[in-house]
Each structure stands twice: as C-alpha cells, then as structure tokens.
Structure 1
Amino acid sequence: MSPSDSSAGQSRWSLPLDLTGADAGGKPWREIDWSMAGQFLNRFPVGIAVMSPDLRYLWINDALERIGGVPRAERLGKRLSDVLPGLDTEPIEGRMRKVLETGRAVTDYEYRGRTQADPDREHAYSTSFFRLDDDSGRALGVCYMVLDVTDRWRARERLALLNEAGARIGSTLDVTRTAQDMADICVPWLADFTVVDLLSPVLRGEAPSPGTPLGTRLLHRSGRATVAEDRHKARGEVGETVEFPPFSPGARSLADGTSYFCPVLEDEHNDAVAAEPPGAGTGAGLGACSLMLVPVGTRETTLGVATFIRWRPHDPFERDDLLLAEEIAARAAVYIENASQYAREHSTALALQQELLPHMLATHPTLEFASRYLPADAGAGVGGDWFDVIPLSGARVALVVGDVVGHGINAAVSMGRIRTAVRTLADMDLPPEELLAHLDDLLLKFLREEPAREKSRSQAASVLGASCLYLVYDPVLRTCAMARSGHPPPGIVTPDGSVTFPDLPPGPPLGLGGLPFESAEFELADGSVLALYTDGLIESRDRDVDSGLARLRTALSSPGLPLEEQCTAVLDSVLADRGPEDDVALLLARTHALAADQVATWDLPADPAVVTHARALASHCLDQWDLSDAAFNVELIVSELVTNAIRHASGPLRLRLIRHTALICEVYDASSTSPRLHHARTTDEGGRGLFLVAQIAERWGTRYTGEGKIIWAEYDLPTADGSDRTPGGPVQPS
C-alpha cells in the first residue's frame, strides 16, 4: 500500500494491483477478497467506526461495540450524541466536521466520559480521525479509531498531583497552613471531601504521646476542603476538636498507622468511620460513599489521620488512589513535623525571652515609665530585643535597651546573659562609657570560652553583633549621661513637644573589642520624655532609617499625652503600613526632677571635730522634713560615714541628704581608695563603722567620680500608711 498524489496537504492511500506476494498458504494477496479485510477490521483490537458526511454511523467494528457498550444495530444510522449521552459529544463531532472540511487528520485527541459499557466509572479515550475519499477525491465520510487510555490518563494525573503536592505543601512553617494545603490539593481531583485531623499536641509543638487507648486521643481539625458545602455531611469545622469512636477504623488507623480502604460504603448511619466533635451525638451519617482513612505520620510517629470521601456519581476509590493518598500524606507529614518542631522551638524561645525580660518596672518617683514589646511574626522567629530600668544610688535611674542579632533560642539566651551582665555592672555605679567597655570585654571572654562547636556558632554570632544604649538620669542635677554601642540614639521630647535625636558618639557593636566608647551628657527640662527603642521600630526592607525616624518624631510630638497612650500611638503610627519584620522594644520615660527642698548639701572640712556638727546638721534637716523619728539612726549613719572619710580619705568633704523613696546619705571625698566591710576583733578600738552602717541601712556602697568617690547609704522610710513599698506595674506587651 502506497500513497497516491496529494495536493493541499491531502493524501489518499491505494492498494497496488500488481502485488505478487502470497500468504502463508501460497494464495496471492491480490486474490484476497474484501470479506477477509472485513474480518481483519472487525477483529482489530482498536475501536473503529465509519461516519457519513452528516456524522451518522455507517459501520463499526466489534472492538468499538465492546468499548461503547452499545450494540451495532442500535448505532447504525444514528449520531454519536444519540447513542452515547454520557459523553460530551459536541467537541468530538466538531473535530469530525473539521476533518471533513480540511482533509487533515487529527490524532490522539483525548476526552473523558461514561459509556454504557461501564456507566459507574469515568474513562479516558484517545481518538484519531481521518477522511475517507473516493477515487475522485470526494469525501465519503470520516473514519475514527478510539483507544481506552484510562490507566495512562490516571497515571499522568496522579503524577501531576504529586508534583503539585511537592510544590505547594510545606511552603510555610505553619502546621495548620500545611494541613490545609494538603486538603486543598486533594479536592476535587482525588476526593470530593477531605479533612486532615491532627493530634492536638502536634499543634502545640509537642510530640504525641504513644500508647494512648483507642478513642481517647483528641484530634484537632486542621484542614478541610470540599467540592460543595451542601455535600459536606461530616461534622466538625476547622479549628474544632474531634475524635474517632473507640475501636473504629479511624481509631485503629491512628493507633497502628495503617490505612482504611472502603471503595463502597452503603450504610446510611455510618458515623463511626468519621471523626466528629466529642458528644456530637448520632447524625445522618455520610451516606453512600467511597472512603479512605490514611494516617498522617512519619516512620516513627503518627501525627493524625486524613479522611477522603467520594460521593456518587463519582467513581469509587481504587487501590492506586489509596497509594496516591498515602504518598501525599507521607510528604505532608514531613513538613507538618518540621512545622511542629519549629512551633515548639519558637514557643520555647518566646517563653524564654519573656521570662528574661523585666516583668515589673520598678516604681520610681523621678521617672514615669511605659513600655511595649512586639515580637516579630512566626516566620521571622523570636529575636533578642530587650530593655530594662535599673535604680541606682543617689536617686538616679539607668535606662537601657539592647538588641541581639538573630532569632530563636540562641538569641534569647544571649539576650538574657547580656541583660544580666548589664545589671551586674550597673550595680557598680559605672559611668555609661565604662559600663559598655566592661560589657564588651565580658562578651569577648564569653566568645573565647565558647567551645568550637557548630551548635555554638549561631549564639556566638548573635553576641558578636549585639547593640546597646545605656543612659543614667540624675534627678538632682537634671542631667542625663548616655553612651551607645551600635544602637540608634534615643529620642528626647521636651515639655513643649519638640523632638530631638541627640548626636551621640556612635560606638562599635558589642563583641568587637579594642575600640573605645564615649558618652555625652545633656540637661533635661522637668517633664521631658526619653524614648528608647530598637531598630525594628524604624527599619524595614522597604523603608530607610531616616524615614522611620521622621515617623517616630511625628508620633512622639504629643506633649502631655499619657505614656501608655503614647506607646500605643507610636506603634500604630510608625508601623501603620507594615507588620514588624524584627522584634520591637519601646521604652518611654517622663522625667520628674527632685525639688530643691528635697536635697540638702553641706561642705565640711576634713577635721574630726566636724563630726558632731555634721550630726547636728542632719538632725536639723530631718526635723524640717518631719522625719524626726529617723533621727537617731540617720545621725549614726552620718557620723560613721563622715568619720570614715576623715580617717581614710583626703581633701574637702561634702555631705548630702536626699529625701526620696528612702533617705539617702552621701559623703564625698577626694580619695579613690575603696572602703571595705570587715568584722573588728574584740580588742580593736575601731573598724566597726561600716559594719554598723550596713546593719542600719537598707543598702550602702561606693561610686567613683572624676574627683574622688562617694560613699552612700539608703535608710528606708515608712510610707504614709505604714505599708511596705512594692515594685511598679508590669511590662506591657503590645
């Protein structure tokens, strides 16, 4: 058989008449009659039909009769739509008309539908069309050949679904989002209705406890997808707690990690196969359906169960569908377990950070506080931002804010270590620049002591890039000394509402070593507001620092606004068009200077005879402050501190009393020697002065100045109602 002349892309095939070949019996091919050709076409395993120009059946072979399920006698003379209503015949007949018009053959045209041969199952078919011409080229009709390619089509669809599952599932580190992605992918191709129920501990980031009896393990509906809400008959929405009845297929699947497969479930009241809220009662069941229960878990742990349902008239599930569902569930389980572990680490880091942050800011009459801490989202993780308020001697207060590079547990641990170190150094009454220098040295020692382990590198990196701002407010002198290490400067808001960001010496980030820190001192008007913050407030990927500072300046320029309201206003204004990309810490403090009648200062000569005079000055001052009841103990403190300074120091002396939450007694001298507390022997004539001071005073200590040192002691005063003082209010989260 060879092609004849063709034109316009058309071709005809003819059988040569001069063939001399013979069949196996020696009969020449040219003597084979058309009856043999008819037998060949009828027995050919591919369905074949010949259609007239008006697309009516002229002839079909046996294979097509079997494929369609319609007898030959019922097809002949009829159109495709007349005999196969389960197919969408309009596109198929459209292809035939185009073949009749153009003469161009169409191959491998695929479509799906149902035939009388298998009305309960959808099949896929591949069909080729070509035109039949007579010797003159006139179209006699269309011949089509059809193959059932259902297995090939389903395999291709399953592979495509697996590829989609691999691309979509696990795109986030959120457990419920991952479960919902799994449900969305499976509907509508694999199932009409899919729910993913996970054990409640998984959502909390905890490992499921093995060995729990069947039916007593609560699940959390984490994902749900359906083709139509009115077909959703299984109870329990996303977010609800559900459970399988004891010894039900779902409970067994959850317990032993095996799947349950039921292609046809006819029982009307079949609640026992689906998870539902506890105590929901007996409902109408799922109805006639096809059901699969597939455990969602890894090789070691079952995390939950996925339920797949198909309702009629859709095809029942096949074993290949079960294999596909198990593969998707296994892939999802890996990402769900990762997300659960991340949630566990995130909650641990957040709890650790919240524990390490100050829970209560100490009440201080000279400073009014308000604070906010806003964690970054789950994707970014918990950072290492922190702040603190530290009471110092002499009615002074230290404000500190810092930021540790990175996120997670390592950042939280590093933050806690740095905050503890700052509090320890602050108790030494160091100037801001010296405190940062000592802190830098401590971090360098920490880095050198860390073992060379991969586990420690992230923590070391977070410490290496830490920043800090430390300032000390003196309510007596109305000054504020501050220094910073790689941290943005504070905002200073004057009582009239003007906002400045002082030009502080920048200072290197902590952990670099070898570079100096410098401080600056500013006078503050009474009623000024200090704004300390971390860079997460003013920096973002789509906004520069200057823009963030401009927004912060505008938000702070609200004189007289209560600090709690101002904290909220700052966050709402600066973060108005974005969420925090990094943790945000904000601390606002309004200054209240001590009045002149709360401080008394006397210059004294370094003469032992002046001790009596100093006691008298202190007693007279206490009478004016209506604190005569404390005169005996305070006179003793003054006497011992002044005597100690005269005996062991040099230069002029200065005595200062401050009426604050406690009565503060300070003695200045020009010596840099450090006093020591020790127990005097019974034969010693002296040496008991500081021991007596330590017994009478609530606290005592020494701080150094540029000219010498100050020995101070605090004596507690009763409150107006005689009750003890308690710390101030809790730190406010955003």
Structure 2
Amino acid sequence: MLLQADTCDDGMPSFFDPKTVAALFDGNPAAVAVLDHELRYTYVNPALERLNGLPARSHIGRTFSQVLPGLHGQAAALRDVLADGKPREVTISGRTWAPTEEEQQLWRATYHRLDAEGEGCGLMAIVVEITDIARQREELEQARGHVALLSTAAVRIGTTLDMDTTCRELADFVVPDFADVAAVDVFPAEVGHSVRRPEPGVVRLRRAALRGDGDLDEQVQRFGHPGEYVDFAADSAVTRCLLENEPVVDDWENHQRGRSTVTSDRITASLALGLRQALVVPLTARSRPLGTLTLIRAEGSPLFDDQDVAVARELAVRAGVALDHARRYDHEHSIARELQRSLLSEPWGPHSHVEVATRYLPADEGVLVGGDWFDVVPLQDGRHLKAMGDVMGHGVEAAVAMSQYRSLLRLLAQEDLPPHRILEQLDTMVERSGLDRAATCLLAVVDRFAGVCEVASAGHLPPVFIDPGAAGARVVPVPVGPPLGTGFGGYRTASVPCGPGTVLFMYTDGLVERRGEDIDVSVQRLASLTMPPGGRLEDLLDRVLDRFGEDAEDDIAVLASRIREGPPVVRPAPAE
C-alpha cells in the first residue's frame, strides 16, 4: 500500500499535519509511528510511547536504532520498504525500555511507505504486541504435544505382561522427547537369594530400566545398571517422593552439598555430565507404591514446569497400571507354574512292564500357563493306563482344573474299566461336580501279554505308534468323542496291535498346532518319527521337541512309553 500526497516544506506529505495525525492516531490502541526518509521518528502515538517505555520527545528526531538499540535488524527491513515501496510484516523479539516481567517480548510490525510525487519520503509503522498470543499459542502446542504423548504412551507402554520389559518401554518412551535421561526403580519382589539389607533410613530399590539420550546412555550406567540394587538416602528426591507420594523436582544446580553422602555423590557425578534437574514421580497402583520414575534434563533442555509435572504424573499413573498388571501376572504365573510342575512330576515308577519318558515345555514368554497334563497308572495283570489331557484355557484356574481331572482319573482307573467306560464316568463326574472347564483326553491301556493297546479319545489328537526299526510311525485314527465336561458321552475304544519294543507317543495340541496350517496336516508329519531298536526314549523326545516344538504358541506336553523286553522289573518292597 502506497500513501501518496503533495509535499510540505519539510519534505513530508502535505497531509502530515501534526494536529491531523494526532487526531487520527492518538486514540488508536495500536502503536503507530511515522519516520522520515532517514528513518528518524517524526511522530509516535501514546500507545507506542507506552510500548517503548519512552515519551514522544525521546523519539522525535532520532532513528529507530538510536531509540531501541537492543532490537537489531529492523533498519534493513525499513530501508527495503523505502526502496521498493512494498509493505513488510515482520516479527520483532527482544526488550524495550518499558518495565516488564517478560524475559523476551514479541511484536508484530507492519511497515508502509509514504510517497510524495512518486518518491518515497517516509514510513508509517504500526506495531502490536503479541507476547501473550505467542505464549498462548506455544502453550496450546505444548498441550497438544503432551496429549499426543499420553495417547501414544497407551500403545507403547505395557505391550507385554513382563515387568522389566514394561519398565524398559517406559524409559525408552520418555527419552528423548520428554527427558534426556530416565530411570525406573521398583521395589524388589521376594527373591530366593539373600540380599544385603540397606542401612537404616535408606530406601533400596531395584533398577529396572535406565535410558539416556545419545552418549548419555552409556555415561549414566555408572549410576546403577538394570537389575542392580540402588540405595537412596533419606533426604534424596526418590525417598521424599515415595514418602510423600507426590512428584519432587530437584534442581541440582542449586542443591546444597553435603546433605547426604549417597545423595551428594550422585548429584556431583550428574552435574559433571551436564545434568541439571530431576523430576521424580511415584509409580503406584491400587494405592500401593511400586517404585519411581526419575526424569532428568540436561543443559540445553528447558527446566521442568508445572505442565511437565502434570504430564509426568499422568504418565506415571498409566505406567503404574501396566506395571501392576505385569506384577500380578508374574505372581499368578509363578503360582501356576509351581502348581503345574508339582502335578506334572514323573508318573509313578519305575514300572515293571513299561518304560516311560515325559516332557513338559512351557509356551513362549507372555503366554499364561496351560492345563496340559499326563499320567501313567499301573493296573492289574501287568497292564498300564496312560493318559494325556489338555484343559481348556490358561492360568491358575486351568492348572487347578487339571489337578481335579487327574485326581478323578486316578480314582476311576482303580475300577479296571475299559478306556471308553473310564471316559464316560469321568465325563459324568465332571459335569456333576460343577467344574466349568472342559478338557480333551486320550486314554490308552497297554496289555503287554496280549500285545494290544486299547485307546479311547475325548476330543484329543490321535496317538502315534513307532515300531522299532520301522521306516516310519503309525498315526492311528481312533474314534473321537466330545471333550470331557460336556455331558454328551458317546466314547468308543479302538484296539491297536502293540508288541514289545513298540513306542506309544502321546502329545497335546501345542506340539502340532500352528497358525495358518491345517492341524491334520501337522499331525501327519509325526508319521516321519522313527526309533532304532534299543534307542532311548529321552533321545526320541529331544528330537521331537527340536523338530516340532519351535514357534509353539501353547504349552507342550509329550509322553513316550515302550513295553519292556525281557523279564519284568520288580519294584523294591517299601521299607518297614
């Protein structure tokens, strides 16, 4: 925009009569100034006086740079407008003479050339302070960033039910976007080995994760590697955070030295690395403390403000929930594993007419314990009942249900019934007992002297028979009835020839079930199993698990049995 007019005696446009200009702009809330072609002030309105902190007389006749020497770079922009006549909008940052609590102020200025007879003879500047607007915009962007941070945290923290993995995810997530260094320290779980007791007043935590940005990642390892125990003095920020259950900001640059040996040494070493401030927030769940998250910022990063503290607190709350889930899972998992291990002890033995080898392979980390089970029960006349079962579901409930199935089966085995009758009675007993977990089961009664194996299935996968020296195994299809616990019954027994040296191999679906593959195809692969005469059953199971156990998504239980050749093994009489 070009403002054109005739010139006055002083070279300024004819419309620039001081009284006229004052009438136009003195009451304007925007700061307005008029400068001549040498960039000297010829007019300023009261708003500009207040903005610059100087009266009008301190402006008139002086250049922009003389009045405001701290605002660099504006003279060049003003000369450009004079030269080409194109208006300019610029953002100015710095300080004027006006008293303010702001460390840095921002203004938006618009410069227009004043023309007379086609020649530039001066400038008009209109200035508006935008410090508050810029701050609000920055705070809005910061808030949006924090919301995005918390939203992303929901999908990146707690992706597994492993506590240490969750702690590492938390530390990795906050570095470097929110902190330069992060440490996650948790209260130690009950351990099976002795741990040195801390000194009185000292809090001992286990370092679960430690992460630094760039070179700091290696440098901060001196403060305690993950897995190590770290002691915190009574006056440390970590201890105060746990006692107060509130975030604690510790400005190390202003920290009083000598308050505690533990605290002082750690802070001195941190300052040497350029670390300047720590924010410690409690990790809690269900009103119980789990540990702390320590966020550290180094030189060059902004200090933690109130909004950062609020975001860190919310982040810790979400992480605490994930850690609580992981700790509860770990506790349940340990109980279930111990229960299953006790129930999956070696079947009764030694057996006088049959060799037995068993193996139980838990699924990959993150999969709950299952209800797989097996058993071998001696019967009358040298016969043996072999069982392989799989209770539906996972967890402690499945393991408990498995123990009930196994106990009921042992009870029924003493009645000397054929396999299908045992399954029928077991199905009825389970239904009447109120046990709400169905199970598959494969029963096999091996008669050494008759050379036959009677097999019945309740929804289980078929048995495999491996004859010594044969080129392959026999996957024997047997009549399959419904799973136990359904109350439908309808089981049948099939007879399979089984002489001395023949190996009966039984398994759960974890061995053969693979995502995207038909299970019948997987089962048929077991037909490739071979057993040399006199080969060890343990070696057979090793080969099976090495070949088929990889990438299993469920627990695997396997049982191999073989009729002994030669005279029976006599059990030693119990000591009186």
Q: Which TM-score applies when normalising by structure 2?
A: 0.76
Shift in Å, 1:499: 0.8
Does the Cα contact within 8 Å between 1:258 and 1:295 map onto a contact in 2? yes
C-alpha displacement at 1:422, in angstroms? 0.6
C-alpha contact (below 8 Å) 1:492/1:501 kept by paired residues: yes
CA deviation digits over 1:632-681, x for unaligned, max 9?
Answer: xxxxxxxxxxxxxxxxxxxxxxxxxxxx445xxxxxxxxxxxxxxxxxxx
**Which of 523, 548, 554 in structure 2 is aligned with 1:582?**
554
Question: Are the aligned partners of 1:348 and 1:409 in contact in 2 as well (CA < 8 Å)?
Answer: yes
CA positional deviation for 1:363: 1.2
Matches within 5 A, 1:552-591: 552-554=526-528, 556-560=529-533, 561-576=535-550, 578=551, 580-591=552-563
1:86-139 alpha-carbon deviations (Å, 9 max, x no partner): xxxxxxxxxx9xxx99x99999x9x9xx9899xxxxx9999979896787899x
- Picking from 396, 409, 431, the partner of 1:409 is 396
Question: Residue 551 of structure 1 contacts residue 573 of structure 1 at CA under 8 Å; is this kept in 2?
Answer: no
Match of 1:330 in 2: 317
Rate the CA distance shift 1:538–1:78 in 2: closer, same or farther, 3 A: same
Seen in structure 2, the aligned counterparts of structure 1 residues 31 and 401 have a Cα distance that, compared at 3 Å, is closer
- Partner of residue 175 from structure 2, selected from 187, 192, 204: 187
- Matched position secondary structure for 1:362: coil
Question: Residue 24 of structure 2 aligns with which residue?
Answer: 29
Q: In the aligned structure 1, how far is the partner of 2:105 from the partner of 2:541? A: 68
Per-residue deviation, residues 397-428 of structure 1 (Å, max 9, x unmatched): 11110000001111111100000011111111
Q: How much does 1:506 deviate?
A: 0.9
Q: What is the distance in 2 between the residues matched to 1:267 and 1:394?
A: 84
1:225 alignment partner, one of 211, 217, 223: 211
Please state how far the C-alpha of 1:141 moved relative to its aligned partner.
Answer: 13
How many angstroms apart in 2 are the aligned matches of 1:476 and 1:128? 103
Look up the match of 2:521.
547
Q: Distance in 1 between matches of 2:48 and 2:21?
A: 24
C-alpha distance 132-154 of structure 1, shift in aligned 2 (>3 A):
same
Cα distance, 1:143 vs. partner? 10
| Alignment CA distance shift 1:397-1:115 (3 Å) | farther
- Pair 1:423-2:410 in alignment: yes
> Secondary structure at 1:543's aligned position in 2?
coil
**Structure whose alpha-carbon radius of gyration is higher:** 1
Root-mean-square deviation (CA), in Å?
A: 4.5
Give the structure 2 partner of residue 441 of structure 1. 428
> Are 1:201 and 2:173 counterparts?
no
The one-letter code sitting in structure 2 at the alignment partner of 1:190 is F
2:454 to 481, 501, 511: 481
1:286 aligns with 2:286: no
Structure 1 residue 559, shift from structure 2 partner: 2.7
Instruction: Mark the CA change 1:200 to 1:190 in structure 2 (over 3 Å): closer, same or farther.
Output: same
| Alpha carbons 1:403, 1:534 under 8 Å: kept | yes
Partner of 2:376: 389
- 1:268 touches 1:284 (CA, 8 Å); kept in 2? no
Alignment partners' CA distance in 2, 1:521 and 1:428: 20
1:372 corresponds in structure 2 to 359
Instruction: Judge conservation of contact 1:175–1:203 (CA < 8 Å) in 2.
Output: no
Given that 2:353 and 2:569 are in contact with CA atoms closer than 8 Å, whether structure 1 keeps it comes out as: no
Partner of 2:245: 257
Match status 1:496 vs 2:482: no
Provide the residue aligned with 2:195 in structure 1.
none
**Partner deviation per Cα, 1:666-714 (whole Å, 9 max, x = no partner):** xxxxxxxxxxxxxxxxxxxxxxxxxxxxxxxxxxxxxxxxxxxxxxxxx
How big is each residue's C-alpha offset from its partner over 1:547-571, in whole Å with a ceiling of 9 and x where there is no partner?
Answer: 32233333x2243442212212111
2:308 corresponding residue in structure 1: 321
Residue in structure 2 matched with residue 667 of structure 1 by the alignment: none
Instruction: Determine the C-alpha separation between the residues in 2 that align with 1:442 and 1:496.
Output: 42
Aligned with 2:350: secondary structure? Answer: coil
Change in Cα spacing, 1:104 to 1:522, as seen in structure 2 (3 Å) is: farther
Contact (CA 8 Å) 1:214, 1:251: kept in 2 or not? Answer: no
| Residue pair 1:531, 1:588 contacting (<8 A) in 2 also | yes
**Change beyond 3 A, Cα 1:227–1:124:** farther
Aligned to 1:510: 484
Q: 1:493 to 1:468 in 2, by over 3 A?
A: same
- Equivalent residue letter for 1:384: G
Contact residue 274 and residue 307 of structure 1 kept, 8 A: no
Contact 2:33 2:125 in 1 (8 A): no
> Structure 1 residue 299: deviation in Å?
5.9
Question: 8 Å contact 1:489–1:501 — kept in the other structure?
Answer: yes
CA distance in 2, matches of 1:137, 1:178: 71
How far, CA to CA, are the matches of 2:313 and 2:333 in structure 1?
Answer: 29
Which whole-Å CA distance do the structure 2 matches of 1:357 and 1:301 have between them? 35
Q: Are the structure 2 counterparts of residues 476 and 272 from structure 1 closer, same or farther at C-alpha, using a change threshold of 3 Å?
A: farther
**In the alignment, is the contact (CA less than 8 A) between 1:361 and 1:369 conserved in 2?**
no
Q: Closer, same or farther in 2 for the Cα pair 1:357/1:216, shift >3 Å?
A: farther
Map 1:108-123 onto structure 2 (within 5 A): none
Shift of 1:470: 0.5
Structure 1 residue matching 2:442: 3-state secondary structure: strand
SS at match of 2:246: coil
Change (3 A) 1:546 1:516: closer
Whichever residue aligns with residue 399 of structure 1, its letter is K
How far is 1:495 from its partner?
1.1
Alignment of 1:15-54 (within 5 A): 29=24, 35=34, 38-39=44-45, 42=48
Among 468, 472, 480, the alignment partner of 2:441 is 468
- Residues 444-487 of structure 1 show CA distances to partners (whole Å, capped at 9, x for unaligned) of 1112xxxxxxxxxxx61x2xx31100101111122111111000
CA contact (8 A) 1:202 1:340 kept: no
Instruction: Please tell me whether residue 529 in structure 1 is matched to residue 524 in structure 2.
Output: no
CA 1:31 to 1:489, structure 2 compared with 1: closer, same or farther past 3 Å?
closer
Structure 2 residue identity aligned to 1:29: L
**Residue in 2 that maps onto 1:696:** none
1:143, 1:363 → 2: CA distance? 101
Mapped pair 1:161 → 2:149: yes
Report the equivalent of 1:178: 166
Aligned-pair distance for 1:575?
Answer: 2.9
- Residues 262 and 282 of structure 1: CA distance in aligned 2, closer, same or farther (over 3 Å): closer
**Which of 480, 483, 493 pairs up with 1:519?**
493
How many angstroms apart in 1 are the aligned matches of 2:443 and 2:462? 10
Matched, 1:71 2:66: no
> Aligned equivalents of 2:276 and 2:557: distance in 1?
55
Partners of 1:312 and 1:661 in 2: how far apart? 78
CA contact (8 A) 1:494 1:528 kept: yes
Identity of aligned residues (%): 29
In structure 2, what is the Cα distance between the partners aligned to 1:563 and 1:201?
39
Amino acid corresponding to residue 469 of structure 2 in structure 1: D
User: 1:194 offset after TM fit, Å?
Assistant: 0.7
Which residue identity lines up with residue 451 of structure 2 in the other structure?
Answer: R
1:236 positional shift:
0.8
Counterpart-to-counterpart distance in 2, 1:39 and 1:387: 95
**CA deviations over 1:29-77 (Å, ceiling 9, x no partner):** 399995486446845869xxxxxxxxxxx96899xx6xxxx714x5455
TM-score (norm 1): 0.61
Q: Aligned equivalents of 1:261 and 1:358: distance in 2? A: 54
Question: When the two structures are aligned, how many residues end up with a matched partner?
Answer: 515
Superposed displacement of residue 392, structure 1: 1.3
Q: Which secondary structure does the structure 2 equivalent of 1:385 belong to?
A: strand
Give the C-alpha shift of residue 186 in structure 1.
1.7
SS of 1:542 mapped into structure 2? coil
Deviation sequence 1:364-390 (CA, Å, 0-9, x none): 243222211112234331110100111
Match of 2:282, SS state, is strand
Whole-angstrom distance in 2 between the partners of 1:356 and 1:502 = 28
3-state SS of paired residue (2:341)? helix
